[in-house]
Structure 1
Amino acid sequence: MRTQSRRRPPRATLAAVAAGTLLAPLLSGCWVGAGGAGSGGDAVNVLMVNNPQMVELQKLTAAHFTKDTGIKVNFTVLPENDVRDKISQDFANQAGQYDVATLSNYEIPIYARNGWLKEMDPYVGEDPGYDEQDVLKPMRQSLTGDDGKLYGQPFYGESSFLMYRKDLLEREGLTMPAAPTWQEVGEIAAKLDGAEPGMKGICLRGLPGWGEVMAPLTTVVNTFGGTWFDEDWNARLDSPEWQKATKFYVDLVREHGQAGAAQSGFAECLNNTTQGKTAMWYDATSAAGLLESADSPVKGKMGYAPAPVEKTESAGWLYTWAWGIQNASRNPDNAWKFVSWASGKEYEQLVGDEIGWSDVPAGKRASTYENPDYRAEAGAFQEMTRKAIEQARPDDPGVQPRPAPGIQFVGIPEFTDLGTQVSQEISAAIAGRQSVESALRKSQQLAEEISEEYEGR
């Protein structure tokens, strides 16, 4: 394991390293296209992740945005880890090769702090048609810098909730509470073991990665009363709350969870749920669209409940792929026009009309959830998804003050490394290679190194 020096590295260096090593919700794919070096004239260079909704955006841009504005858009589209590396290099150096890039709500406040992003408030103020107030409040908050200014606009967003086979619960005479606690979920999982041949009660991520097992586990820690750091930057992974939450999570997945849990992430739990191998699944709200797709074997069989809680009123995480404009952009005005179009209401309508409402990049605007076409397509889960996002509390996700924002992460550059190392310890406990106590003892030592860097701030 890497040991940090007690002398704090420059923040820009930390942020660049962190942004290049992020792991987030599952996105995979191959090289799709490339843009030119350096924007010029009316052209805008966009560097973005290659998820399906981004690729659809790329296909629609020339025939709509460019046709209407005359602004050509050069896209560079890369797999997630590759695109994060390229973004961190270009933005940290303020090279200006790319005007716009896809960034998450983890990176945007960090990038803003380092002066790498263009403030968006002036553009929003002069573009009333964009309707910033229509953007869900937690999304706006998560894309705001320390100075209270906006530095990003969401393309789509998600929270987390509990997905379950409502047909099996009914058959077994079980009722899912409207606002379940984790204890109640554990009891239901035990009763659903074997509800069908070979079926397990629940699927939970166990795969190492700060964006894999640590995402759901941290929401459990929050609602059990724990925190990575207290408001004075004291590491708290050895607290009774962390111990209780982690032991509950590890025991639940070991006793009533899927086979191979220590190597299960989003994709594996999705497969287990659609194939009828697990009866419940706690994960991203974006999974619901896949479970309810036309070719899904469980379409119409699923129920959805809020993220389970213990000591807090809500527990769902918050994540968004958003647009950031590089401070060194040579075409910031045209860059904003692209961002405004790509995150606007009109673009959602375009996708709904030309591709289908199930493909709309939702999770960011209140008006989406009032659109009758979208509500008809996503009726099984859209209201629960909106509620989960609106109830997310990125600045206050637990029962005590936090020194940095974030629900399923801590909004500091060092978290990518810390979270990944801690996740390896937790995954080893899920695999039965060590005890929870041992995993958290090692994790506390790792977190204390970060405490030393931030102590007294």
Structure 2
Amino acid sequence: MKALQASALALMAATGFAQAGSHASELTIAIVNNGHMINMQKVAEAYTAETGVKLKWVSLEEGVLREQVTSDTATGGGQYDVINIGMQEAPIWGAAGWIEPLEFGAEYDMDDILPAIRAGLSHEGTMYAAPFYGESSMVMYRKDLTDAAGVSVADNDSWDNIKAAAAAMHDPDNGVYGACLRGKPGWGDNMAFITTMVNSFGGAWFDADFKPTIDSDEWRAAINFYVDLLGNYGPPGSEGNSFNEILALYNEGKCGMWIDATIAASFLEVDGVAYAQSPNAGNPVGANWLWAWAMAVPTGTANTDEAKAFIEWATSKEYVQAVANHPDFGWGSVPTGQRASTYMFDEFKAVASFAGAEMAAIESAAPEATDLKPYVGVQFAAIPEFPQVGSAVAQEMAAALSGAKSVDEALAASQAAADAIMSEAGYY
């Protein structure tokens, strides 16, 4: 605890944070309910002790967080002082004036933030959300199970080989499922994974005129494969599983492989895990996503300065050290995918066997617009209408996965919903 307090004190002294009693207030912070954000609540006790700023945490499931934060921020409601958002929202909300631009002191070392992460949270060169952690996606598989089954998983493997490996590991009588993948509906839940699969099959959300292309052969091939893979080799009820549900299954030894956020590797507690770059069906561009859970200040808050000061601390190099020095955590629990300097510590490299695979995935992610897709973003499109489009399609994909609809029915309904949204928005 002394090391944590010392780390916090050093940062606060260097960056001019208010000392206890000098400008005390309370900040209401809306966070996603995942491991790193939950850990922050303990680490931030030192921040309150040193500054006198009390922190009220509102921890929400991903889909609920997005709904509540969007509604409050868009209307200037002022319910939250600090909010968790990501790469889809940050540049759009910054351009709209919904969130404050972020500029920090030299000690913060903005150049230490990974370039792809910083760019994704900026608009016209100004950063509007600071990354708490960043991620891509990759394969996390039980090498002990693949070895026992006589199969292997390679970097950028084919989907057919992935299915073969899942089939070989699948042993439901003993509680092991070959593949655990997101199925819970949401544009950042099931559609995060599904979009990367569609990308790898050569599909995209929209054509050059921003007309939806969900009824294409590429989407049909990808979704049929997805439903078949999970239907045959996934756990029952996959249409209700997202990150937290699958993490629990994996740590119970019930998953042979999981293709999901690289950040998950920080929380895996089973032995024998190995890592590989995301599979594809001939198109590796967009087969792995790029995301950051970041912290922003809504323009509706009355505590702008205090909120910015907290974000500066919570996304700093010193915060990483504070987590590493915390008696409940250590180097294996530090937020990753955020700062280049984290990957230079021998202590981190010693406990993070996933570090090389994670960095390779982040560096190979391709969010730029291409001939295949006219929009920025890998597993999302950086346009204001995408959350509505993605949420509508997410429900249809969950229906296809559960068997409530056929794949063709779900794709037709998705195309119709997306077309109505984009047409009404005036794209064509």
User: In structure 2, which of residues 101, 114, 118 is the aligned counterpart of residue 140 of structure 1?
Assistant: 118
- Contact 1:307/1:314 (CA < 8 Å) preserved in 2? no
Correspondences of 1:215-234 after superposition (within 5 Å) = 215-234=192-211
**1:117 and 2:117 matched:** no
Secondary structure of the residue aligned to 2:179 is coil
Return the offset for 1:277: 3.3
Secondary structure of the residue aligned to 1:63 is helix
User: In structure 1, which of residues 376, 386, 409 is the aligned counterpart of residue 359 of structure 2?
Assistant: 386
Q: What does the per-residue CA deviation read over 1:122-142, in whole Å, with 9 as the maximum and x for residues that have no partner?
A: x24xx2221112111221121
Q: What does the per-residue CA deviation read over 1:364-404, in whole Å, with 9 as the maximum and x for residues that have no partner?
A: 1111111111111222x1221122122222234x761323x
**1:79 and 2:60 matched:** yes
Secondary structure of the residue aligned to 1:286 is helix
| Residue in 2 that maps onto 1:12 | none
Distance 1:395 1:116 in 2: 24
Return the offset for 1:233: 0.9
| Residue in 1 that maps onto 2:342 | 368
**1:159 and 2:132 matched:** no
User: In structure 2, which of residues 147, 150, 153 is the aligned counterpart of residue 170 of structure 1?
Assistant: 147
- Contact 1:95/1:328 (CA < 8 Å) preserved in 2? yes
Q: Which runs of 5+ in 2 are unaligned?
A: 1-21
- State the AA in 2 paired with 1:102: N
Distance 1:345 1:215 in 2: 29
Return the offset for 1:432: 2.6
- Contact 2:155/2:278 (CA < 8 Å) preserved in 1? no
Secondary structure of the residue aligned to 1:323 is strand
| Residue in 1 that maps onto 2:331 | 357
Task: Specify whether residues 90 and 71 from structure 1 end up closer, same or farther in structure 2 by C-alpha distance, changes over 3 A only.
Answer: farther
**1:63 and 2:38 matched:** no
| Worse-superposed segment, 110-119 or 226-235 | 110-119
Q: What does the per-residue CA deviation read over 1:82-109, in whole Å, with 9 as the maximum and x for residues that have no partner?
A: 6545533543333556443222222222
TM-score (norm 1): 0.79
Task: Specify whether residues 336 and 425 from structure 1 end up closer, same or farther in structure 2 by C-alpha distance, changes over 3 A only.
Answer: closer
Correspondences of 1:289-304 after superposition (within 5 Å) = 289-291=266-268, 293=269, 298-299=270-271, 301-304=272-275
- State the AA in 2 paired with 1:138: A
TM-score (norm 2): 0.84
Aligned residues: 402
Task: Specify whether residues 351 and 200 from structure 1 end up closer, same or farther in structure 2 by C-alpha distance, changes over 3 A only.
Answer: closer
Distance 2:258 2:94 in 1: 35
- State the AA in 1 paired with 2:115: K
Task: Specify whether residues 211 and 449 from structure 1 end up closer, same or farther in structure 2 by C-alpha distance, changes over 3 A only.
Answer: same
**1:425 and 2:387 matched:** no
- Contact 2:158/2:279 (CA < 8 Å) preserved in 1? yes
| Residue in 1 that maps onto 2:8 | none
Q: Which runs of 5+ in 1 are unaligned?
A: 1-39
Return the offset for 1:227: 0.9
Q: What does the per-residue CA deviation read over 1:216-271, in whole Å, with 9 as the maximum and x for residues that have no partner?
A: 11100011111111231111001111111111111222223223333333344334
